[in-house]
Structure 1
C-alpha cells in the first residue's frame, strides 16, 4: 500500500466553465454603417456587395439614429415600381427604423437569445454609454450555441 504525504489537494476552480458567455464575446465590431442622407440605391448596392441584411445608421456625430434593412429598402423598390421610377433615390432617413432597440455588451448570450425570440428582430446594435460598439445578429447567437455548456446557462 502506497501512502501519499502530500495531503489533501483542492481542485483548481475552473473559471471558464462558470463564466457566462456575453454579447460582447460574439458581436460584430467591424460594421458597415450608413448615413441618414445616403440613398436607398447606395444601401442596396452595399448590402448586396457585402452580403448583409441590414446595418446601423449613424449621424455626423457618430450617434446611432436608426437601422436600415433589406425590408426597408424593399419599400423604396416597390414605391419606384409603382411610380415607374427605376432609380431608388429615396433617402435612408425616410425608410430606416428610428426607434432602435439595443443590447448591452454585458448581456449573456442566453438573455440575448430570449430577446431575439421575444421581439422577433434580426439584429441589435450593441451600445455602451451611448456609443455604438458593435452589432449582434440572430446568426451570431446561433453560431455561439455550440460553445455553451450546461454550466454556462
Structure 2
C-alpha cells in the first residue's frame, strides 16, 4: 500500500508581474464630486441626492482639501435651522463641514487601509498628494479590491 498525501494540489507560484497591485491609489475614485466652502447647504444637499453620494471633499480654488461635508452635516443644519427658526438658503457649508480631515496615503496597501477604516469608523478617506486632492477611497472601494483579488494569496 502506497503513501497517500492529504496535501492538495499546490497552486502554481505566480511571478511578480502577474500579482495585482494592492495600493489605495489603484482602487481610489479619481473623478470626484467636490464642493467649495462658499457653496450653500441646499446646493450640497441637491448634489448628494442627485449623485447618490453620502458626502464629499471640500476644496479651495487651488484644489487643496479644506474639509469634508456629509449627509449628517446637512441633517444637523436642517435640525438647527428649524430649532433656531433661521432660513437655510443663505447658509454656506464652511461653518458646517468637518475641517480636521484625516487622509490616507495613496501608497498604502488596501489591507492596511481596511484596518484604518475599522479603527477610524469612517466611510471614506481623501487622498492628497503635494497638497492637492487627488482621490478618495471608500469602504466600497476596499470591497471591490478584495473581490478582484479573490483567489490570490493575500500577503
TM-score normalised per structure 1: 0.84
Instruction: Give the aligned partner of residue 75 of structure 1.
Output: 76
Instruction: Give the aligned partner of residue 47 of structure 1.
Output: 48
Residues 20 and 151 of structure 1: CA distance in aligned 2, closer, same or farther (over 3 Å): farther
Structure 1 segments of 4+ aligned residues over 4 angstroms from their partners: 16-20
Once the 2 structures are TM-superposed, how far is the Cα of residue 89 of structure 1 from its aligned partner? 3.2
- What root-mean-square deviation, in Å, do the aligned CA atoms of Structure 1 and Structure 2 show? 2.0
Question: Which string of whole-angstrom CA distances, capped at 9 and with x for unpartnered residues, describes residues 112-141 of structure 1?
Answer: 000000000111001122221100011111
Instruction: Give the aligned partner of residue 141 of structure 1.
Output: 142
Instruction: Give the aligned partner of residue 117 of structure 1.
Output: 118
- Residue pair 1:66, 1:100 contacting (<8 A) in 2 also: yes
TM-score normalised per structure 2: 0.83
Question: Which string of whole-angstrom CA distances, capped at 9 and with x for unpartnered residues, describes residues 85-131 of structure 1?
Answer: 46353211101110011111111000000000000011100112222
Once the 2 structures are TM-superposed, how far is the Cα of residue 16 of structure 1 from its aligned partner? 4.5
Aligned residues: 143
Inter-partner Cα distance in structure 2 for 1:77 and 1:55: 18
